[in-house]
Amino acid sequence: MLGIRLNPQEFLARVGEELGRINPAEIQVLADQIYECYRNGKMVFVIGNGGSGSNASHLCEDLGKGTIRREDFDNDSKKRLKILSLTDNTPYILAWGNDEGFDRVFVEQLKNLASEGDLLIAISGSGNSPNILRAVDWAKRHGLRTYGCTGFTGGKLRDLADSGLHVPLDDMGIVESIHLTAFHWVVDDLYRRIGLEGGN
């Protein structure tokens, strides 16, 4: 936790440095994959635990609503992005976690909802969360594309996912903040493509 030894100015400067180290091509890949799902009518699923779970919910909300122009809200013929955060059905998650184990809370939802060609965005700072890895492994074996958002060394997720965004820093809070910053650019890019340009 860098904030325990840095003052606010130093902390913010360090965050800026870390943002500058991110590979922009990795962020572009995520936007392109989500847009391809939109074009093909495929689902996008997002998963994560803790702060990464909050980022999953945030990304889902932003992409679900923030890719549509206000003037299209009542346009029933306007195609919408199909996206769902699997972190948000608390009773479902608790049922699987309590009855069968927490490592099943995401993969069992995918078994109900996912189809070949869908996209799974898996967010894990450590890259080693068992429920994340289990879901990504199942997704890859069933024809879904997988995108992993990691920090630290990237853990197992960095190698397991088809593509991803890696933040090479041993500070979970900054890793999660950088993931969210990247997600906000993705939302803006998809608003341009889907909302402003019509999705063609």
The CA angle 11-13-15, to the nearest 5 degrees, is 70
What is the model's pLDDT at position 4? 78
Domain residue spans in the chain? 2-70+77-196
Per-residue pLDDT of the chain (200 residues; tens, 9 = 90+): 776 788 999 999 999 999 999 999 999 999 999 999 999 999 999 999 999 999 999 999 999 999 999 999 998 989 999 999 999 999 999 999 999 999 999 999 999 999 999 999 999 999 999 999 999 999 999 999 999 999 999 999 999 999 999 999 999 999 999 999 999 999 999 999 999 988 76
Handedness of CA 148, 81, 185, 193 (dihedral sign): positive
What is the model's pLDDT at position 200? 65
Q: How far apart are CA 173 and CA 54, in angstroms?
A: 12
For domain 2-70+77-196, the CATH architecture is: 3-Layer(aba) Sandwich (3.40)
Residue holding tokens 């976690």? 97
Closest CA to 122 of 111, 101, 138, 99: 138
What is the model's pLDDT at position 116? 98
118 phi, psi to nearest 5 deg: -70, 170
- Angle, helices 24-40 vs 172-190, to 10°: value is 50
pTM metric for this prediction: 0.96
